[in-house]
Structure 1
Amino acid sequence: MKSPTAQRLGVVPSVFAVEHLSHATFPEDDEWIALVRAPEGLTVVREIWPTASGDRWIGLYGGASPHSLDVPGMLAAIVGPLAEAAIPVFVASTFHGDLVLVPEPKVKEAVAVLEDAGHRVDTTHLRSADI
């Protein structure tokens, strides 16, 4: 299925963790990439060491082909095909693009799904074990 809003995505050369801090309004450190504050607590996205254990997420970033904020469907064009393939995502949007995190064990499948949907994905920063 080709997307009408095909994008150039790049694999971010970091590994991420997504945390929920139920009683925090701000993290105790400044080692975070993204924060979302909600009534049920704080969601924190952090860069972690490649050898860290636990749930690990790989980032796909669409900032390589920035788009105006008023262009509809840009994020849907990415997460839609991933949802159809039953690949979970966590998204943090920026002014220039969207950081779409996928679980590390699903990254190879996610890249294939996105390319099949018409996106171009630069996998330069994937570790050889992930490809």
Structure 2
Amino acid sequence: MRTQNLRVLEGRFTLRWGAEVRTAAADSHLLALVLGPDGGAAMLRDDMAEDGWAALWNGDDAHDPEATGMLSAVVAPLAARELPVWTAASYDGDSVDE
């Protein structure tokens, strides 16, 4: 079984969706942008946000993209504690925001 190394990214983050998402691509504080049929969502750094999210990153030691269960191993303990999460994946790793 391969282990994952997680690190907490510096700062606090906010989740935006709807019309704001189209302008998020140009924002220097953009962490993740997902576009879809519904318009999409963006996670942006905002250290002043009262309800900001913490972000975990596991891409420092990239895992094989065909490996299964990597993201669920991170999300399952958070779900067990009833913590909301938003995830975005890239080729090298996953961002889990809680």
Residues 73 and 26 of structure 1, relative CA distance in 2, 3 Å threshold: same
Answer whether contact 2:12 2:49 (CA < 8 A) is retained. Answer: no
Q: Please say if 1:26 is aligned against 2:40.
A: no
Residues 53 and 25 of structure 1, relative CA distance in 2, 3 Å threshold: closer
Q: RMSD value over aligned CA atoms?
A: 2.0
Structure number with the bigger relative contact order (C-alpha 8 A, sep ≥ 6) is: 1
Match of 1:81 in 2: 77
Normalized against structure 2, the TM-score is what?
Answer: 0.83
Match of 1:12 in 2: 9
Q: Which has the higher strand share?
A: 1
Partner SS, residue 13 of structure 1: coil
CA distance in 2, matches of 1:25, 1:59: 19
CA distance in 2, matches of 1:6, 1:100: 16
The one of 43, 46, 55 equivalent to 2:44 is 46
1:55, distance to aligned residue in structure 2 (A) = 2.5
The one of 68, 83, 87 equivalent to 1:91 is 87
1:91-122 alpha-carbon deviations (Å, 9 max, x no partner): 111211111111xxxxxxxxxxxxxxxxxxxx
1:43, distance to aligned residue in structure 2 (A) = 0.7
Alignment-mate amino acid for residue 82 of structure 1: L
Pairing 1:86-125 to 2, within 5 Å after superposition:
86-102=82-98
Partner SS, residue 8 of structure 1: coil
Which stretches of structure 1, 4 residues or more, deviate above 3 A after TM superposition?
A: none
How many residues are treated as equivalent by the alignment?
96
| Structure 1: gaps spanning 5 or more residues | 103-131
Identity, in percent, stands at 29
CA distance in 1, matches of 2:13, 2:86: 11
1:5, distance to aligned residue in structure 2 (A) = 4.8
